[in-house]
Structure 1
Amino acid sequence: MSNNPLIYTPDGEGSLALETDAFVEAAFSRWPGAEVVWTSEDPDDPVDVTLRVQDPGDTHHFQIFHARALDSVWSDGNESQVLRVAQWIRAAVPDKDKRVVLLDPVMWVAAVVQPGMTEDEILAAWTAEPPMPTEGP
């Protein structure tokens, strides 16, 4: 799928509940000037839409990819851009009880993105050292 950080829900296919049209509409609202750069109707293609967006003040655009299974989104943006996408996805998911997770490309480091978290809080959770297992008796 991607060598980029993944924003997904472990709650199963369709769990982000961001249908393609709602995803695109929400992105256009968040990133004025966003554009659809690719779509696919092929049911075997894991991506159904790719958007190109740019944050005000950023010098480079980045892309956001929407999974056809409605369970994940990923971006080719830099760390700060990915954090903003994770924050935006968390806010856009209609069911606040759904878990939204930011996962690194090798699926080693993860952070649960809670409603209302700031970019700094997401980064701190994502870069925190995982707890070391305690030794048994």
Structure 2
Amino acid sequence: MGFFKDIRQLKQSAEELQDQLQPDRPRGLSGQFKQMGSMVQDANDSLSALSRQQADAQRLMATGLIGQATVQALRDTGMTINENPQVEFDLLVSVDGRDPYPVTHRQVVSRLVISNFQPGASIPVRVDPADPTRVLIG
């Protein structure tokens, strides 16, 4: 019986430590369900955002102005989609009839071609005619 008592005390100590580290954590089964519901909502929000980004990308491919951009810098955002990183680019965009201008842009890039986007590289872009700061690396 002493073994089970020790396990129960160890569990209570762990719960007390969790309470100290995370005082607002959900408790009990209903709290766990609320937490899971929150996680599902976050996932749905992320999927909705990706869907909007995909629709925007299709629109830019169809109606965007063709331009060139020079990669000034790139940073990994820490987010991956289908094992491909989302990268934040600092670009210098050139479109016919306009002076070159800087744009910061985020886009998911295949791991297979990420080496093509090193600083100094010239890459094709599509530019939103209504908002020149919105670009799509194509």
Band of TM-score, shorter chain: under 0.3
With structure 2 as the length reference, what TM-score do the two structures score?
0.28
If asked which structure has higher relative contact order (CA below 8 Å, sep 6+), I would say 1
TM-score by length of 1: 0.28
Quick check: which has more Rg, 1 or 2?
Answer: 2
